[in-house]
Amino acid sequence: MIEAELKARVRDPDGLRERLRRLAEEQRSVYRDTYYDRADGSFLREGRELRVRVVDRGGARRTVLTYKEPAVDRASGSKPEHETRIDDPEVIDTALRALGAVEYVRLTKHCANYRFTAHGRDMLATVVTVPELDGAFIELETLASEDELQDALGAVRAVLKELDVTDRDLTTEQYTDAVIRARAAEW
């Protein structure tokens, strides 16, 4: 399945969270992400992502391994995604490194998640802050097959509009890139 997703900068985070709370219960989480690449950087160049994410929510912890293929829609950056739960992130880290993967970047995301149905689709809206980055972001996604991707992205755009998020607010910038630049600027 493809993660039909759009991301935008948020002008009014409190107002957006209030609008989202009318649609769904808020679930707060902290994501601790480690991204990996091949030593030659080819995953990044090809638009692939390999990530281990540790999610802390209300005292519970779960870990997932995610592989994202290159984008199938350049305008949105939507990618086929493959994800599975894992028991121990240290074991996966050891295995990935033994296979030649190197750590690309680690980052932390503070997230407020909202799951709801709109325009006939299951949606996940996530309001995100990243300590190294100014402001907040919204990620809105739904899963789609390749032949329904444009319709799914249309539904995502419609919901964003209903949430007062405009096309002008959209961004395809990756958190990984923005965090690396922010850290380099501190030096």
- pLDDT score recorded for residue 134: 96
Average pLDDT, the chain: 97
Cα distance between residue 25 and residue 22, in whole Å: 8
Cα distance between residue 45 and residue 42, in whole Å: 5
What does the pLDDT average to over 67-93?
96
Task: Check: pTM over 0.75? Answer yes or no.
Answer: yes
Which tens digits make up the pLDDT trace of 83-102? Answer: 999 999 999 999 999 999 99
Cα distance between residue 157 and residue 161, in whole Å: 6
Tokens 């293929």 found at:
69
Residues 105-123: b if buried by 16+ CB within 10 A, e if exposed: bebbbebbbbeeebeebeb
Which tens digits make up the pLDDT trace of 4-58? Answer: 999 999 999 999 999 999 999 999 999 999 999 999 999 999 999 999 999 999 9
Topology of the domain comprising 2-186: Hypothetical Protein Pfu-838710-001 (2.40.320)
CA nearest to 155, candidates 113, 125, 121: 121
